[in-house]
Amino acid sequence: MHSTLTPRANIHPKVVSERLGHATISITLDIHSHVIPAPREEGEALVARLVSAAKQRRLREPRGGNVS
């Protein structure tokens, strides 16, 4: 139960790994990453914001270079 609840409580995987006695954090993440939905959702939202900001910058930039 501890291994399922702590990631959902946003406790860092390294702390969970140490408490469970895993040799590496990758063992913890391989076994328990399915209960941590936030990184995927947050990553998708961040990428969407970055793409949107890049599009907005492109729309504001003058086309055709400098005109004197």
Q: Backbone phi, then psi, for 49, in 5-degree steps?
A: -65, -40
The low-confidence residues of the chain, meaning pLDDT below 50, are none
At residue 7, the pLDDT reads 62
Q: How far is CA 44 from the centre of its chain?
A: 8
At residue 64, the pLDDT reads 61
Are the C-beta atoms of residues 11 and 3 closer than 8 Å to each other?
A: no
Query: What token pair was written down for 19?
Result: 């408490």
pTM (two decimals) = 0.45
